[in-house]
């Protein structure tokens, strides 16, 4: 039993030219090219299943971009009316319509301020500011001290290591943090000598 008929896509000559211009362009992303091809195939009268087979994509992907293009008709028509001799407005509008939606991803666990405070803590002498019986900070010691000072509620040694440009939790064999402190006290590296 056939499903519902997909939304018809009707392109103006200028829209078709713009989409066809995007597909062979070397600076177009693969996603943009694929989406332009979906719209062009839909305008040729292919249904979502045919488009999916033709382009080697999921039928839902074809349905999604058909709908996105259809929903943007007013915006595309307005951009086409603004046309300059270079057809720049429509091209930018088409690229915007067919662009990836921003992805939220996981929220940041630590604020930039917290990261800066932990890095600043790493530059302190652990014996002076914290009364710790170690000569050099380890990521584990820094994590414990950051929690003790209320910089963060909890943090792993591994996260501290990432903030400092290292992933491990072992003590740096070359006393990396001690060198950083010494450099900050002397004004950095001396040049030309």
Low-confidence stretches of the chain (pLDDT < 50) are: 1, 167-174, 190-193
User: Do residues 69 and 9 touch, judged by C-beta distance below 8 A?
Assistant: yes
> What pLDDT, on a 0 to 100 scale, did the predictor assign at position 184?
55
Beta strands in 96-189 (DSSP E): none
> What pLDDT, on a 0 to 100 scale, did the predictor assign at position 91?
86
> What pLDDT, on a 0 to 100 scale, did the predictor assign at position 135?
87
Threshold 0.75, pTM exceeds: no
Residue 33, number of CB atoms within 10 A of its CB: 16
Sign of CA dihedral 65, 66, 70, 75: positive
Mapped onto helix, strand or coil, the DSSP state of residue 124 is coil
> What pLDDT, on a 0 to 100 scale, did the predictor assign at position 24?
80
> What pLDDT, on a 0 to 100 scale, did the predictor assign at position 134?
86
């Amino acid at each position: 039993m056939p499903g519902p008929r997909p939304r018809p896509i009707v392109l103006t000559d200028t829209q078709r030219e713009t989409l066809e211009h995007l597909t062979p362009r070397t600076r177009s992303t693969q996603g943009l090219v694929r989406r332009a091809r979906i719209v062009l195939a839909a305008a040729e009268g292919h249904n979502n299943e045919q488009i999916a087979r033709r382009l080697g994509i999921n039928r839902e992907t074809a349905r999604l971009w058909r709908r996105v293009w259809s929903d943007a008709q007013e915006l595309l028509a307005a951009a086409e009316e603004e046309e300059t001799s270079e057809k720049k407005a429509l091209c930018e509008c088409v690229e915007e319509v067919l662009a990836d939606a921003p992805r939220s991803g996981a929220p940041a666990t630590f604020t930039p301020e917290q990261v800066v405070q932990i890095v600043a803590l790493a530059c302190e002498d652990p014996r002076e500011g914290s009364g710790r019986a170690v000569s050099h900070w380890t990521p584990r010691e820094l994590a414990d001290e950051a929690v003790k000072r209320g910089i963060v509620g909890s943090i792993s040694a591994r996260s501290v290591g990432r903030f400092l440009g290292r992933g491990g939790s072992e003590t740096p064999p070359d006393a990396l943090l001690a060198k950083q402190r010494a450099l900050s006290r002397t004004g950095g590296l001396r040049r030309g000598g």
